[in-house]
Amino acid sequence: MTDYSNLLIRPLGSDHDRPGFHCGVASLDDYIQKQARQDVKRRVSRVFVATTAEQPKSIAGYYTLSTLSIELSQLPGDLASKLPRHPVPAALLGRLAVNHAAQRHGVGKILLVDAIKRTLAVSDEIAIYAMVVDAIDERAQRFYESFGFSPLGSESRRLFLPLKSI
């Protein structure tokens, strides 16, 4: 049985087995298999993959990070009233997926924590108000909400977490 407690999380490399990744959601499988390397080359997204020491080329899970701006009208009134009257910077956790074999072993939680830590580290150098996620379904939405994410505006599956709340 594979040990997922000591994952290595690093940027996607050319040596990673992208065709071997299958999480059960076609759009997430297609992204890592066909689009991820191009997005990294174009500098529109960063892709981080989790591997194990036993299988360093096999992708146990991955997530993507990029940037976006949040319109003040999307934020709850109590938060928006405390901010300047222009869009605020955020980090977008655009995708997070766990390979079938690694599901139910805490890999998703480890990936989310790593994404938050990376975002916090960058926020010491550049302004980032919050982390935003696009939950793919209700189950994913409940997962993010369990970590304190809240709905952002009227977009039911877009959630956010102010970094100051971490």
Q: Where are the domains of the chain?
A: 8-165
Beta pairing, strands 8-11 & 46-51: antiparallel
Cα–Cα distance, 61 to 51 (Å, whole number): 7
How confident is the model over 18-24, as a mean pLDDT? 97
Inform me whether the pLDDT recorded for 38 exceeds 70.
Answer: yes
Residue 120: what pLDDT? 95
Residue 49: what pLDDT? 98
Residue 77: what pLDDT? 65
pLDDT, tens only, 132-155 = 999 999 999 999 999 999 988 776
Judge: domain 8-165, CATH 3.40.630.30. Answer: yes
108 sits in which H/E element: helix 107-123
Cα–Cα distance, 96 to 61 (Å, whole number): 7
Residue 17: what pLDDT? 98
CA distances from 58 to 3, 7, 66, 81, 88 (A): 13, 11, 24, 46, 37
How confident is the model over 98-120, as a mean pLDDT? 96
Cα–Cα distance, 63 to 118 (Å, whole number): 12
pLDDT confidence bin for 87, thresholds 50/70/90: confident
pLDDT, tens only, 40-83 = 999 999 999 999 999 999 999 999 999 998 776 666 666 656 66
pLDDT averaged over the chain? Answer: 91
- The model carries a pTM of 0.90
